[in-house]
Structure 1
Amino acid sequence: MSRILAIDYGLKRTGIAITDPLQIIASGLETVDTVHIFVYLQKLLSDEDIQTVVVGEPKQLNGEASQSAPLIEAFLQKFKTKFPHIEVVRIDERFTSKIAFKTMIDSGLKKKQRQNKALIDEIAATIMLQDYLAQK
């Protein structure tokens, strides 16, 4: 069975999470500098059997698109051009960064560790992927 990948795309950093081959468990993979995201994805998608990618859909509290929506749309257009065989699923990403930060506190990470924004992005991608798996 193929894996599912989640991408928490950001201007500076992009959090990546992936499922196990049975698509039961979501795990944070890493955070990539956004300028290198397509090089990273090219290698990852050639090494792993991934048929579905979950990408966050940033929304405001009222449900309208957030300011970062055009940035993510541009990323998705390029992604679909480079990887047309991969299904892209959008998922609401409201509050994922706040939930990720709360998760870091609850897991006992020290203040210095909680300031690691790359870790927050990776955890946010994992939360999005867990949400997707729960909805499936």
Structure 2
Amino acid sequence: MSKKLTWGIAFIISLGILLTIYAAMNFELLSYEWNEKEQLVLHEGFGNSITVTNHDVTIDYDSLEILEQQMGAFNRLIFIGILLASLFIATYWVLLSDKWQENEKKRKKYMLWTLSLNGITITAAVFIVLRYYHQMNETYHNVLF
């Protein structure tokens, strides 16, 4: 099997697995809904939900629209993260396979480039996630006042 075919198969398999995991969350890491008691329920990840039951809390519906937009943008960024993760998984799979054993110098060069790009991507992802969580926290407080 060629390196390109191996990379393609690894990419498709890793993309499928990551999308299946994300599909288990209805393709939404962050979301909200109203329950049958007309209470606001905020969802974060797998099974983490917060129900707003405090009667002193007033919900600002204009801020709720902003929250929905921010949650949608964050959920779309997760798709980009899944794509990038699949690219890196497939690249590592090929670089660590037996096909590169005969050309160790070239493999080390590509591995160094891939590790560098992976480090930059992880740093950017952490920055983006922290920024969005900070914005979400502010918006939560604006919605619930």
Higher helix share: 2
Same fold flag (TM > 0.5): no
Q: Which has the larger radius of gyration?
A: 2
